[in-house]
A and B are shown apart, each in its own frame.
Chain A
């Protein structure tokens, strides 16, 4: 009964129930359901529903964190199965995240990283107090699509500009999209420093990252 199973999978994500999600993933494997089917038709619609309900103010951040945890639990079962089949989950993009130099706040960044992972991005979190050069080195190493720079303080927000400059210096700027966020950050600020986008909260960051990936694909497709 895949339909019922898919519904249960979706519900386990909405409920933020990692044990249930893990059990359902294991049962799917045992019953011979294709892992990619379970992900695409079962668990991912759950995350989409969560995102929608969060956007409507019906779900709250702790609920969403629990949903992301449930998603992680399901993927911990299904990812190895995909590998056994010689495939992997289609990846939404590679993101390098960090809090800017001089700033040790990371709650917002952790939220963004958790949600991006739950939505299929491969996220590398550099942590806090990260200089521009470190962002550039990691972006080159991972062939990153997006660099996300967080700042909580008005004083450290200015260092977001330094990350963009470091990417330019490393010759990576044309390949890497930059998104910025954090309490004092505004759209105008993002434009002023030449970032590709600004997200006001974690869910918007997911939408922005998807949009940046589309823009990136278009720019690659366009003839030079």
Chain B
């Protein structure tokens, strides 16, 4: 019995064999990886309990100003007159002058509530994420100020360039359904 040659030319055979050879790894990748995938999306976030307020967030984000902003947990705040997150150390006058403020951009607003309490709110448009106030509050205060990545600004880069630079590995991927790591209870905007 004479066998028919399936391939017309040698080049035709090489072409078909090559096709199988490049298609196989592709199929293998798809099959192998499908078990490792998740349908859920992930976003980057700072764990405030790991954060050491080193200031890398301000300069390492691909965006200028950084997508990292300060948040304020009012329930943890002592509403102090002598706020170590708002005032520079060793100031004489307790007022709102630029020279006494710790924040380089004046992003913290101080408002009188009642004797002896003052409320501190963050203007996120001015905040650069330098963490000076967070450090002040953590060192001498209640630690109610903390850094979070603002997801309105964050580009959700494939790899967060702050996460690479973060010395305390405080930045990791968190599920997009729960995108913030608050320091203590606050309500999400519905």
Report whether chain A binds chain B: no
Chain B interfacial positions (CB closer than 8 Å to A):
none
Chain A interfacial positions (CB closer than 8 Å to B):
none
